[in-house]
Amino acid sequence: MADRITLRVTRYRPESETEPVMREYEIPLRKEWSVLDGLNHVKDHLDGTLSYRWSCRMGVCGSCGMTVDGEPKLTCATFLGDYAPGPVRVEPLSNFPVVRDLVVDIGDFMNKLPRVKPWIIRSEGEEPAGREYPQLPAEREEYERFSMCINCMLCYAACPVYGIDQEFIGPAAIALAQRYNLDSRDQGAAERMDVLSAAEGIWACTFVGECSAVCPKDVDPAGAIQRYKFTAAMESLRAFLLPRGSR
Ligand code: SF4
Ligand code: FES
User: Of the candidates 119, 202, 110, 115, which has an alpha carbon nearest to the alpha carbon of residue 161?
Assistant: 202
Least confident among 80-84, 117-121, 205-209: 205-209
**Run of H or E including 228:** helix 221-241
Q: Is 6 helix (H, G, I), strand (E, B) or coil?
A: strand
The verdict on the CB of residue 151 being under 6 Å from ligand 2 is no
Name the residue of 33, 37, 63, 68 whose CB sits within 8 Å of the most ligand 2 atoms, as the mutation to test its pocket. 63
Q: Which CATH architecture has domain 4-104?
A: Roll (3.10)
Between the CA of 63 and the centroid of ligand 1 the distance, in Å, is 11
The verdict on the CB of residue 221 being under 6 Å from ligand 1 is yes
Tell me the chain's radius of gyration from C-alpha atoms: 21
pTM given for the model: 0.91
On whether the CB atoms of residues 164 and 208 are closer than 8 A, the answer is no
CA distances from residue 66 to 78, 108, 135, 155 in whole angstroms, order as listed: 10, 17, 37, 12
Position with higher pLDDT, 65 vs 193: 65
- Give residue limits of the domains in the chain: 4-104, 107-241
Least confident among 17-26, 80-89, 224-233: 224-233
Between the CA of 53 and the centroid of ligand 2 the distance, in Å, is 9
Q: Could you say which ligand is closest to the alpha carbon of residue 212?
A: 1
Q: Is the pLDDT of residue 154 over 80?
A: yes
Look at the domain 107-241 and name its fold. Answer: Fumarate Reductase Iron-sulfur Protein; Chain B, domain 2 (1.10.1060)
Q: What are residue 222's phi and psi, to 5 degrees?
A: -60, -40
